[in-house]
Amino acid sequence: MVNLRLARKRAARAAGEDAAARNRAAHGRTKAERDGARLEAERADRRLDGARLDGAVSSKSSADDPEA
């Protein structure tokens, strides 16, 4: 004999554990990992800005302005 209430609770608990595992994989980075990724992105931006030939500070200002 199977208690359906308990079976439903077990299934819901297993689904919750699966969702928690997916969230840990997607969002579970340590502060050091987040800071390292942020620093690497800033370093890449500086490297890209340093390699500009026209001396423009940002390409977004000229690309967003249709009159320029």
Q: What is the pLDDT of residues 18-65, one digit of tens each?
A: 999 999 888 888 889 889 999 999 999 999 988 877 755 555 555 555
CA distance 16 to 11: 9
What is the pLDDT at residue 29?
Answer: 85
What is the pLDDT at residue 8?
Answer: 95
What is the pLDDT at residue 56?
Answer: 59
Assess contact for 27 and 21: CB atoms under 8 A.
Answer: no
**Helix (H), strand (E) at residue 49:** helix 31-50
